[in-house]
Amino acid sequence: MSATDPAAPPERMPVSITINGNRHKLEVAPWTTLLDLLRHELELTGTKKGCDHGQCGACTVIVDGRRINSCLRLAVMADGSEVTTVEGLATNGELHPMQEAFIERDAFQCGYCTPGQLCSAVALIDEGHATTRDEIREQMSGNLCRCGAYVNIADAIEDVMAKGGQAR
């Protein structure tokens, strides 16, 4: 739809979103997803696009303390929210304990699913609904890994839990 079409919906709307602690005042098209805003407009390309349909979890980010699929969230609907992406997990150059555990346990191969796995795992610990291995597996089922690193991912999460789960 062209900008000269009199019936065209407004091309851009103002939003204010805090991403990894930094407040961004932006203008976004209503049809831009949070995922596309992060990757294309803010160049935060840590968050990955796998399927763009809620089926893989590669786009998982934490919005106001909850993990969601950013491919199925409109950026305009994130107005006023606090978003944490994989880029925001480390603090002052120190990796998040979950990132350390993923490295320790070799919990990835190609790494494409990893940003989503990490955000999901950090949120899983905050939620506190998983204690057993079965529960960890089930609570991580929204993140697919084509390389099949599942066993090591569950190990890494167990390690962080055993150390008292220092999630933020």
Partner 1 sequence: MRPFSYTRASDVGEAVAALAANDGARFIAGGTNLLDLMKYDVERPEHLIDITALPLDRIENTADGGLSIGAMVRNTDIAYDEQVAARFPLLASAILAGASPQLRNSATTGGNLRQRTRCSYFYDVSTPCNKREPGSGCPAKTGFARYHAILGASERCIATHPSDMCVGLAALGATVRVEGPEGSRSIPFSDFHRLPGDTPQVDTTLAHGEMVVAVDLPGKGFSDHYSYLKIRDRLSYAFALISVAAALDMDGDTIAEARLALGGVAHKPWRNAEAEAAMRGKPAVETTFAEAADIVLAEAETVPGNAFKPELARRTMIRALSQAAAGTPQSQSDKRIQ
Residue 10 engages partner 1 in binding (rule: CB under 8 A): yes
Closest CA to 37 of 81, 89, 96: 81
User: Binds 109, which of ligand FAD, ligand FES, partner 1, none (CB < 5 to 8 A, cut-off by type)?
Assistant: ligand FES
Non-local (6+) Cβ contacts of 109 within 8 A are: 147, 148, 149
Question: Is 132 exposed, middle or buried, given 0-12, 13-18 or 19+ CB atoms closer than 10 A?
Answer: exposed
Residue from the set 66, 95, 106, 163 that interacts with partner 1 by CB under 8 A = 66
Closer CB to ligand FAD, 55 or 166, in the complex: 55
CA distance 48 to 51: 9
- Site residues for partner 1 per CB under 8 A: 1, 8-10, 13, 29-31, 33, 52-54, 57, 60, 66-69, 72-74, 76-77, 120, 123-124, 127, 129-130, 132, 134-135, 137-139, 141-144
